[in-house]
Structures are given as structure tokens and as C-alpha cells.
Structure 1
Amino acid sequence: MVGRVLLDRRHRTSPAKPGPPDEPPRRVPPPPPRWQRWLVPLLLLATVLLLWLPGLVSTKASSVPYSEFVTKVDAGDVKSVTINDKGAVDGTYTDGSDFTTQVPTAIDTAGLNAGLEAHKVEVTATQSSTSFVSVLLGWLPLILIVGLFVWMGRQAQRSLAGGLGGFGRARAQIIEAERPTTRFTDVAGYEGVKQEVSEVVDFLRDPERYRAAGAKGPRGVIMVGPPGTGKTLLARAVAGEAAVPFLSITGSAFIEMFVGVGASRVRDLFDDARKRAPSIVFIDELDAVGSRRGGAVIGGNDEREQTLNQLLAELDGFDPNVGIVVLGATNRPEALDPALLRPGRFDRQVTVPLPNQAEREAILTVHALGKRPGDDVELGRVARGTPGFSGADLANLVNEAAINAVRDGRTTITAADLDTARDRTLLGRRETSNALLPDERRAVAVHESGHALLAALCEHADPVAKVTILPSGMALGVTEQLPEAERHLYSEDYLLDLLTVRLGGRAAELVVFGQGSTGAANDLAGATQIAVRMVREFGLSSRVGPVGYGTGQPQYLGESPDDLLRKPYSEQTQRLIDQEVARLLTDAEHRAVDLLRLHRGALDRLAARLQELETVDGAVVEGVLRDERLASGTPVRRPR
């Protein structure tokens, strides 16, 4: 496995202050006191106690049939009875026990009255009445249920910041003029991008200059680029430099399952911006709401398209002299609707690319603040060894190095910590428990020696920085190459050498063992991808000719499956492309095998050194080749 392929580069507040005097800030209701959270559970508990406690504390009398009651009366076992107007009887036996019964309304009770008088039973008559407590107990469950719904409705209103009317309001984070502290000086590198967006700052600071010249300031600026390149940070720097209110919202915040909510939030957002003008509206991840219309939905009736239509109308509707500038950021400019990008809406499209070597060094310097780098740390060398890293990748690199220092019980970051963090970022965690068998260890050493020697032998290949046979992530061994300078164009010679180095591991296995292995699977996949682009996009095949079948649009997030399925050429052309790709790979493998056979002694010595030391740097590779040439009497190759 070789180092990073440059053709496949990784795209990688203080308290709120009130608004202007004419528009008081919208206040979100404070959270309810803690005691209100327990109100409903306490009411439910009280209801249960009121309903069940009287029955639990009272002594329950036994219920007896009416016939048994008459028999007891005739036997003289009844002491007293209480009869109400509904025929319910509560009585006491002569032994002191209580009973209850019910007198049937269809039976003549004259005999019962005579028996009660004959045995001198104490009879008491009562009239039944409905007490306030019983009425309250009967209605209390219903009252509590209604109260529970009212309480839940108020909680929903509070969470929606104003009830059902606030459900359609824009959920934008409003940062007033005094709060933005980010400036252009806080953004390392990207001088060209900062110059592009600085005109927005000039327009918001002094719009009269533009009016005097009859010029109109930019209405909208959209920043496009790979993830992690600092588009949101640049937008905050614009707000900080202009010292105006900054309304920040993401594109996904407009989209809801309810029809019309997104359009309502767009209207509300621009209403807030007009009230706070001059101001900046920043919409992050613009592709979430601004994707192309059409496709499966015909007529534009879905919620997302209605939201986009409202956004287009708002961008056309405000007066350019009011002082409202809309900033957008996206990783997918190819997915945006063309109507959104026309002049008069988003007037400018600013590309925020991956940082170059000088910008990476400046970014590393910013992220190294607050940390303690050692004397052996050279940020320029780290920047040279991280091509294709974004600003977020570099921040993660420095943080991983600091974590590695803490893991070793140190507070100072060394160069070894940065190298370990780079390997972990590119390859994954070092697998110390993944012990190789002796035969596997020798095979990996031979494989990586083939990569390293061919990188040193090929004239246009990048120099070797480090070779290791310690497993990391999915790789059993790694050969890292560091470019001497930042490349922007790649010649055909460079690409052919790159293919040769890629296939160097497999070629070394063929030379030493006479057969290949599964260890070259990743190398073959990477080499095939490079060869396909050489034939299909770069026009570097004599048989296919100067024809390019690229997408023509930046793919910061990689090609989608639909792009891979849609081919702008015929099956016959695809067959020709396949043949040319196979030819390029076969020629590169033959060249690699011939070079390694010519330098078989250096290959064996380097593989032995790798088995002994496990990790060597590029100087060891150059030394092995130098020793071989001195022994054979050939001129010593000048190290690069």
C-alpha cells in the first residue's frame, strides 16, 4: 500500500442583547418552575387516595340475603336497623356484628314491620342525599383529565415559541451586532476568498459609496467547497467585520412534514432581516432546501418545492438598497436549482477549496495555539505531509496528537505524536494485537519494499518518507510518500510512475515468491481507478483519443450512484476503455517487475531491514540503493 494519492484528494456567544429600539427582541418564555412539573402527578395521586382511601379505612359490613335477614329478625338476633327511602338496610346483630341488605320493593313489608316491633328492634329511618364530597369525587377524574390536556397544550405552546402561530416561524439564530467576534484575521489562509467576500462587508458598512457610483451591492453570495474548509467560519467573519445583525439558519430547518410550514418560515426569516436591516442572512447547507425542482413530482406541489419557490420570491422581493445580504454554503453546487444561481439572487459563487501547503501551515499554527509543541515539531513539514487535508482534518490532526501526548503522560506534543496522529487519521488505529505469522511478516516486508524501491527508482514519483510493516487499520503495511511541492497539474509521466509504484508490491511478490497474494487488492483498486481516469477523463490513451467523459461539475462528496450508471458513451467505447485500462496496468506491472529484477539485491536487503526494524524512513531506502550501486560500480543516484 502506498501513501496518499494526490489525484484522489480528500475533500475533506455571550448573553443575548436586545435588538434595535424600534423592534424589541422576541423573547422565549422561561421554563416552568420545578414544582409545576410535579403538579399533574400529585393531582393524580390525590384522586386515587380520595377514591380508594375511604373504602380502605372503613370496616366493610357483610351483605346478607333478604330472606336470611327476615329469619334473623324472627329469631330475635337483630339489635338495630337503619332503613333509607330506597330500601337499603344497615343493621347490627345482637352479637355486635354489622350487616347490610336490600328490601325488595315488590314485596309487602307488613310482616317485617310486625316482626321488628315484636322483637323490639331499634328502627331508624333516613333519607338519602347527594353530598358535595361525593359529587366532587365523581367529577374529579374528568376534571383531572381536562387539566392534563390543558397543561400539555401550554407545554406545546411554550416549545413552539408562541403556540400554533409560532409553529411556522423561522428557527433562526439571531446574533446581534455586538456579538460576532470572528474577524478575517481569525481565518488562516484563503486570502483570495476573503477578498471576494470583503465587498459584502464594504457594502454593508458604507452603502452610500455604491449608490453614488450607481452600483448595486451583491444580493447573495454562495460559498461552495468540500466539507470542513471553513465556509461557516467565513460567514461569521463577514458578520464580525460588518458589525451587523447575523441571522443564521440551516436549510433543513425550513422543511417540515406539514404543507406550507417551510414557506411560512422563509417569509418570517426575511421579515426579521428587514426589521434588523442592514443585516446578513446565512443559510447553511443550502442544498437541503434549494435542490433542483422536477423529477418524480410533477407540478411543484410538494412541500420542499413550495419552500424553494418562496425562497426565490423573497430573494427577488427585497430592495437591494435596504442592506440585506444573503450568504449560502453548500457542498453540492451541482444539486442546486438553476433559478437560485441566476444573477439577482445569488450574484456570486465563491469556491472555498482545500488549503494549499502554505495555507495548511497557517491553519496548523492557529490550531497549535494553546498547546505546547516540542522543539522538534516543524509545522511546515507536517503541512507538506498532509496534502488533501481540509481545515477540519488539520484541527483533528493536532487534537489527536495532543491526545497521544496525554496518553503517554506528557503535556508537550512531539513530532512523533503528529506522525502517529497522521497515520491514525489516514489509516486507522495501530493494531498492536494483530500479530503476523513469520511467513506473512516476510511477505508484507517484501511487498512494502517493492513499493519503496520503485518510488525511489522512478524519476517522477514522490520521495519515500516512511516504510512500516506494523498493521494499522485494514493495512498490514504502509509506504508513505511526501510530495516535494504542491502539485496542481499531473503529467503523463507522473501518472505512469504512479501506476508503477502502485503495482510495486504485487511485482515484488511475483519476483520473490513467483505468485501474487490478496495483499495487493487495495493497490489494484487504486491503480485501476487512476488508469480509468487517465483514459476516460484525461485523454491519455492513443486508441480512445483526446476525448473526456468527466462529469463537468465539482463532486465534493464523490460521485453518486446515478452518475455512475449514466454513461455518455456506447458499449463499444466502454469495451475500448476497458482494453486501454488493462493495457496501462499490464505495462505498469511489467515495468515494475523488470526494475525489481534488475535490483533484486536491494529488494532482499530492504526486506531484511524491514523485518528487523519494522519501520524505516526514506534515507534507509536511498542508502540500500546507494550501497547496491557502489557495489556494482554504477553511478550513485543523487538523492532528491
Structure 2
Amino acid sequence: MPASREPPVITVVRLASRHPTRSAKPGPPREPPTPPASPQSPAWRPWLLPLVLVTVFLVLLMRSQASPGTSLSYSHFLGKVNTGQVKTVDINDKGAVDGTLKDGRKFTTRIPTALDNSSLEQQLRSEKVDITASTSGGGGLGTLLAFLLPLVLLGALFLWTGRQAARTLSGGLSAVGRSRAKIIEAERPTTRFGDVAGYEGVKQEISEVVDFLRHPERYAVAGAKGPRGVLMVGPPGTGKTLLARAVAGEAEVPFLSVTGSAFVEMFVGVGASRVRDLFADARKRAPSIIFIDEIDAVGSRRGGARLGGNDEREQTLNQLLAEMDGFDQSSGIVVLAATNRPEALDTALLRPGRFDRHVTVPLPNQAERAAILTVHAEGKTLAPDVDWDVIARATPGFSGADLANLVNEAAINAVRAGGAVISAQDLDTARDRVLLGRRETSNALLPEERQAVAVHESGHALVAALCEHADPVAKVTILPSGPALGATEQLPEAERHLYSEGYLNDLLTVRLGGRAAELVAFGEGSTGAADDLAGATQIAGRMVRDFGLSPALGPVGYASGTAQRLGAEPPEAALQRPYSEHTQRLVDEETARLVRQAEKRAVALLREHRTALDALAKRLIAHETVAGSVVLDVLREHRRSADDDAATTDNTMPS
């Protein structure tokens, strides 16, 4: 069996976190799918509702002004008549009176219809009041209008809201089931394989698909059939979508791009309808390529807690399976898909005849990282001291998106410093920010805390320099960054894919070097070693469970089956133990033994080099950040001093 390949790892040993780390590297930005254009509405339609509101307001205002005047009681009205102050009156058949006084003021009153009002007419005649009569029909019409207008307004509001909702559904309910694919025709290519740095093997796999679409007759002569589907699998940020764009540029055929989440919505059956519409569009444009990004959103494994259900997602997946089986291979349709969760995909989707090829897009190696950095540095001004090979060696485990973010952070740091040229120091600062977080310049440590951090980081650095298989120390700092109060950075001399037992034991010893330095210098530990202890326990646990490096368990492995970086959190599947409680007790005992053994070894090394520990701690307090060469210089001075002391002791011994 081939040996398992571990992803490359960069070791950053840091002092205890004050807060839990919450940062996450963002992946590459994706272009949202362009929605289909909705039909143009008339220019007057947006003004319809405001016009109705203004009309109702004016009608009510005019109605309120139609009967102005002071309201008088009937007795007060009779007093005005008797004193000769009334000029005109208008009496309707309901007894309502609108009148005018001789001084020009208007008034209103009501005549009691139950009383005999013949004397009132005589009084009005005697006072020479101008009397007119009217009917109450106009008032009834106004009242009816006042009641009907709100109902008309409410109906118009409901009608307008319904039309707006229908318009948001991309042309109405008939367009809900249409495909949301973004179609890139042959005359619109932009990205080519030359724009994708590295990944020569991946590009060769996918370029065969492009060649089959361009020259199908070459394969027909040999009796070869082109693949129906190609599934690209890899960690986030490795460039799967970028490779698909390059296929669109190289193929010179229509390219239909859609995301997995665009199939399933709130309406039942919409996902299956959109799948049918997508493949119908591809057949019309054949030969063509269909690209489904994040296919795990629609192709998740069926069954489990939803056995036999009519789930919308399962219906969409069933339709996708039927379409991939149903189209003719000679039609020239190829399906490309990308995901970073292959374990979640349904097995029926992965069988030959649907996705014939599975292309792994791994994290870039050192040479590919240098090429990717060169691509992202185009258009930027670089200082002469920038060496992309050195930066690539210092960034193992970085994805393409991480490298793009690194160059961008370096450019931002250069602008913040008042310049426009990116230097090696800017890239180093950007790398620290990506790995550790923002530099806490406002954080002031107490003198005893500063001394403790210096001793802790000096312990890490010295143990790393003294261990044979440990990676060289690149930098030691006691400046707080993010949740860390200090950090010791190690860079591998070469990119490893296999880790020996000696390397893992040295890695454990370096992890516990900070705590060992505290025990040697102060006689007690502190909370600063919390992160170190957690990382050392995870590494020791994997040595026992996964790698068979424990004599108590022997060559037995309980690996999770998924690639995992050293010191990373185990996946959820690994939390379900495939072994007994007795085996778990042995695992715990062996893990504790390895950690204690590493601590004992680190304490012994630092006690032997106590003067070097004190000297390096003093330099850190004075300079806050020192390079790895300073650590080696301190060790040389200590050994030279020890040799001189030994020589002096030999000379003073009696002959």
C-alpha cells in the first residue's frame, strides 16, 4: 500500500491565547449569477399609487372645506335672528342650516324637526333674511364617496403589490422553473490555462476534455469515448473555479456555469425543472460544457434521517442523475463540477458513466507557490530584496487564495507605511498578520509578564535549535499579535510529505520548550503554555492512534480516513471511536507518556544551556524581535564559554 501523504505544515509556536481564535481565511470571491432581465414596465406605473393618494387627500380636503363656519346652537341661532344679525340662510330638507351673518361670518346650525317651525319663518321674514332651500342629495353623495374611496384605494394597493411580487419572480411564475445558468459563449473567453500558475497535472486532465470537444473525430478513430463528467475535488481556495473559467476560455464552445444552490428554492419541483431546463439549453448549444460549482449543495448523500421522503433536494438530485444518464455521449456535452466536500456526495453521482474522472486539486507545492505569487504580483512594484522562492518556502500549506491575500496584505502594509513599493519586510509582516493576527501595538505588558514571555519564547527557540530533526528557527518575537503574546516561527528547509518518528518527537519537545523554560527559570508553569499543551496532546494522540508509534498498542491504526494536518482538530467522524474503552485508556496513557517524555527532555536541554536561555531572554527584552541567526549566535557563545570554563578547570587541576 502506498504511504499516506501528509499535507505540508508550517510550525508557529506561540504563547497562550488570551481569547479564542475566531479568524478564518476567506476563500476566493465568486461572481454571482446574473439574473434574467425582467420586462420593462411603463414609465407611468411607479407614479400610479402616489397619484391615487394625492387625489384622495384633495377630495377629503375639499369636502372638509365645503361647509366652513361656526357651529351655533338652535337657541343661539334664534337670538341672532331676533337681534337682526342674520343676513342669509340655506335650509335643506333634513333641517341643516348654512347661513351668513351681516358682518360676513358664516355659521351652521340645525333646526329641530320635531318642533313647529312656522314661527321661525315669520321671524326670518320680519328681519328681512334671505331664505333659500336645498336638498341633502349632495351631502349623501359626498358621504358615499368618503366610504368608497378607502375601499378603492385598498384594492389598488393589493393589485399593485401583487404585480410587483410577480415581477420579482423573473418574469412571473412561468419563469420560476427556468435555469439560472450563466451562459458564456465561445466569443467571450477571458481566462486561459496560462493564467493559472502550477497544477500541470490537473490542467492536463482537464485539457483532454477540451480537446475532445474540439476534435471528437480523433477519439472516434481510436474507438475512445469522451468523459461525461469531471469532478474537481480540493480544499477551499485552491483554484477549482479558476480552472473552470480557464476551461471556458480554452474550449471555444458555449460554457454554462451555475452554482449548486441555484437549483433548490422554496417551491416544490423547481429544482428538477431547472435541471431539465439547464440540460435542454446545453443540448441546443452542443457541443458545450456545464459547470456546477459547489455541487455538494444539490448532490448530498440521500437516505439517513430522510429515508423515502419527498425531499426537494432529493428530487433535484434524482433529476440530475437521470439527465447525466440520458444525454447521448455523441452530443458533445461534458459536465464539470467542483466541491471541497467529496465525502458528502451521493455514491450514485460518483460512479463511472456520470462523473468518470475525479481530479484532485491539492494545495500547491513550493514551486507552484512561487509561480502563483508571481502571478498575483503582476501590476505591483516590488523592491529588489523580494525573493519569491524564499516567500514560497515560508508559506507551506498556503492555498492560492491565501497567497493572493498575502500579496494584497503586503501592498496594504506598504501603503500604510507611506510608500508604494512592496518590500520583503512588507511580505514578512503580512505573513505574520495572516498567521497570527493584527499586531497589538497598544497592549502594554507588565514587567514581570514581559520577562515571562521572553523566557517562554527563548525556551521554544533554543530547544528547536538543539533538536536534530526540528525545523530551523526563522524569527522569535515577544510582540503581541492577535491572541498570542509572542511567537517562535520555524521554517522547513524542504517541503516534507512524510514525517519520521524522530521528527515528531522533536516537534513535541519544541512544543513544550516554552513550558520547560518557565519551569527552569521560575520553578513553576503558567497559563501561557495552554496552546502548546493542546497542540502537543493532539500530535501525541495521532502518533498513538493513527501512526502506530506506541509500543503499548503496536502497529494498529485508527485513522479517520481523511487528510488532516498535524495539530489540526479531528473531524467529527473521528470523534466516534471505533475501539473499546480499554483501548481508549491505553491511548490516553500513551499520549500522556509521550507528552511527559517530551517535557522531561526539554527541561534537561534547557538546564544544560541555562546561560544561553538567560542571554536570549535578555536580547528579546531589549530588541523585542530577533532573527533565527541570533539564536544560533547565543548558542555558540554559550558553548565557547563552556569550553573555556572546562579548559580553565583542567589547567587548575593538580598534576
Candidates 496, 508, 521, aligned match of 1:512: 521
Worse-matched range after superposition: 82-91 or 130-139: 130-139
Q: Distance in 2 between matches of 1:389 and 1:157?
A: 47
Candidates 223, 226, 238, aligned match of 1:217: 226
- The answer to whether the Cα contact below 8 Å between 1:11 and 1:390 also exists between their aligned partners in 2 is no
Aligned to 1:92: 100
* CA deviations over 1:410-469 (Å, ceiling 9, x no partner): 111111111101111101111122222222222222211221122111111111111112
Q: Distance in 2 between matches of 1:107 and 1:212?
A: 115
Does residue 371 of structure 1 match 2:380? yes
Aligned to 1:465: 474
Candidates 224, 227, 242, aligned match of 1:233: 242
- The answer to whether the Cα contact below 8 Å between 2:180 and 2:262 also exists between their aligned partners in 1 is yes
Q: Distance in 1 between matches of 2:433 and 2:581?
A: 42
Tell me, what secondary structure is at the counterpart of 1:41? helix
Distance 1:547 1:116, change over 3 A: same
- The answer to whether the Cα contact below 8 Å between 1:11 and 1:389 also exists between their aligned partners in 2 is no
Candidates 332, 336, 342, aligned match of 1:327: 336
Q: Distance in 1 between matches of 2:385 and 2:427?
A: 11
Identity percentage of aligned residues: 70
Candidates 593, 601, 604, aligned match of 2:614: 604
Aligned to 1:148: 157
Tell me, what secondary structure is at the counterpart of 1:321? helix
Counterpart residue type for residue 539 of structure 1: G
Candidates 29, 40, 45, aligned match of 2:38: 29
Tell me, what secondary structure is at the counterpart of 1:146? helix
- The answer to whether the Cα contact below 8 Å between 2:518 and 2:525 also exists between their aligned partners in 1 is yes
Aligned to 2:562: 553
- The answer to whether the Cα contact below 8 Å between 2:560 and 2:571 also exists between their aligned partners in 1 is no
Distance 1:94 1:418, change over 3 A: closer
- The answer to whether the Cα contact below 8 Å between 2:282 and 2:333 also exists between their aligned partners in 1 is yes
Distance 1:139 1:10, change over 3 A: closer
Aligned to 2:132: 124
Q: Distance in 1 between matches of 2:26 and 2:78?
A: 98
- The answer to whether the Cα contact below 8 Å between 1:11 and 1:388 also exists between their aligned partners in 2 is no
Aligned to 2:392: 383
Post-superposition shift, 1:499? 0.7
Distance 1:31 1:362, change over 3 A: farther
- The answer to whether the Cα contact below 8 Å between 2:25 and 2:402 also exists between their aligned partners in 1 is no
Worse-matched range after superposition: 63-72 or 584-593: 63-72
- The answer to whether the Cα contact below 8 Å between 1:81 and 1:89 also exists between their aligned partners in 2 is yes
Q: Distance in 1 between matches of 2:74 and 2:477?
A: 101
Tell me, what secondary structure is at the counterpart of 1:83? strand
Q: TM-score, normalised by structure 2?
A: 0.87
Candidates 174, 177, 185, aligned match of 1:168: 177
Q: TM-score, normalised by structure 1?
A: 0.89
Distance 1:510 1:52, change over 3 A: same
Q: Distance in 1 between matches of 2:246 and 2:542?
A: 38
Worse-matched range after superposition: 343-352 or 372-381: 343-352
Aligned to 1:489: 498
Aligned to 1:18: none
Distance 1:132 1:119, change over 3 A: closer
Tell me, what secondary structure is at the counterpart of 1:178? coil
Candidates 585, 602, 607, aligned match of 2:595: 585
- The answer to whether the Cα contact below 8 Å between 1:81 and 1:123 also exists between their aligned partners in 2 is yes
Aligned to 1:292: 301
* CA deviations over 1:249-299 (Å, ceiling 9, x no partner): 222222223322222222222222222222222221111121112233232
Tell me, what secondary structure is at the counterpart of 2:489? strand
Counterpart residue type for residue 593 of structure 2: R
Post-superposition shift, 1:339? 1.5
Worse-matched range after superposition: 246-255 or 27-36: 27-36
Worse-matched range after superposition: 158-167 or 94-103: 94-103
Q: Distance in 1 between matches of 2:564 and 2:264?
A: 25
Q: Distance in 2 between matches of 1:122 and 1:560?
A: 102
Matches within 5 A, 1:170-319: 170-319=179-328
Aligned to 1:60: 68
Aligned to 2:652: none
Post-superposition shift, 1:233? 0.2
Post-superposition shift, 1:71? 6.4
Q: Distance in 2 between matches of 1:157 and 1:83?
A: 54
Worse-matched range after superposition: 332-341 or 90-99: 90-99
- The answer to whether the Cα contact below 8 Å between 1:220 and 1:327 also exists between their aligned partners in 2 is yes
Distance 1:148 1:554, change over 3 A: farther
Post-superposition shift, 1:489? 0.6
Post-superposition shift, 1:108? 5.1
Q: Distance in 2 between matches of 1:29 and 1:615?
A: 60
Counterpart residue type for residue 621 of structure 1: V
Worse-matched range after superposition: 588-597 or 303-312: 303-312
Does residue 475 of structure 1 match 2:476? no
Worse-matched range after superposition: 283-292 or 32-41: 32-41
Q: Distance in 2 between matches of 1:560 and 1:111?
A: 105
Post-superposition shift, 1:536? 0.8
Worse-matched range after superposition: 211-220 or 379-388: 211-220
* Backbone CA RMSD of aligned residues: 2.9
Q: Distance in 2 between matches of 1:245 and 1:291?
A: 27
Tell me, what secondary structure is at the counterpart of 2:133? strand
* CA deviations over 1:98-150 (Å, ceiling 9, x no partner): 33334455555545445545555432233444599957766444444333333
Does residue 629 of structure 1 match 2:639? yes
Does residue 566 of structure 1 match 2:572? no
Counterpart residue type for residue 89 of structure 1: V
Counterpart residue type for residue 504 of structure 1: G
* CA deviations over 1:177-205 (Å, ceiling 9, x no partner): 22221111100001111111112111221
Candidates 74, 77, 81, aligned match of 2:89: 81
Q: Distance in 1 between matches of 2:129 and 2:606?
A: 125
Q: Distance in 2 between matches of 1:404 and 1:137?
A: 68
Q: Distance in 2 between matches of 1:130 and 1:202?
A: 85
- The answer to whether the Cα contact below 8 Å between 1:334 and 1:553 also exists between their aligned partners in 2 is no
- The answer to whether the Cα contact below 8 Å between 2:560 and 2:574 also exists between their aligned partners in 1 is no
Superposed structure 1 runs of 4+ greater than 6 Å apart: 9-12, 558-561
* CA deviations over 1:202-221 (Å, ceiling 9, x no partner): 12212233334333221111
Q: Distance in 2 between matches of 1:174 and 1:586?
A: 61
Distance 1:324 1:554, change over 3 A: farther
Q: Distance in 2 between matches of 1:330 and 1:499?
A: 34
- The answer to whether the Cα contact below 8 Å between 2:612 and 2:638 also exists between their aligned partners in 1 is yes
Q: Distance in 1 between matches of 2:133 and 2:486?
A: 103
Aligned to 2:21: none
- The answer to whether the Cα contact below 8 Å between 1:502 and 1:524 also exists between their aligned partners in 2 is yes
* CA deviations over 1:586-637 (Å, ceiling 9, x no partner): 1111111112222222222222222222222122222222233334449xxx
Distance 1:105 1:176, change over 3 A: farther
Q: Distance in 1 between matches of 2:84 and 2:458?
A: 117
Select the structure with the greater relative contact order (CA < 8 A; seq sep ≥ 6).
Answer: 2
- The answer to whether the Cα contact below 8 Å between 2:381 and 2:421 also exists between their aligned partners in 1 is yes
Unaligned runs of 5+ in 2: 1-9, 14-23, 28-33, 645-655
Unaligned runs of 5+ in 1: 13-24, 635-640
Aligned to 1:21: none
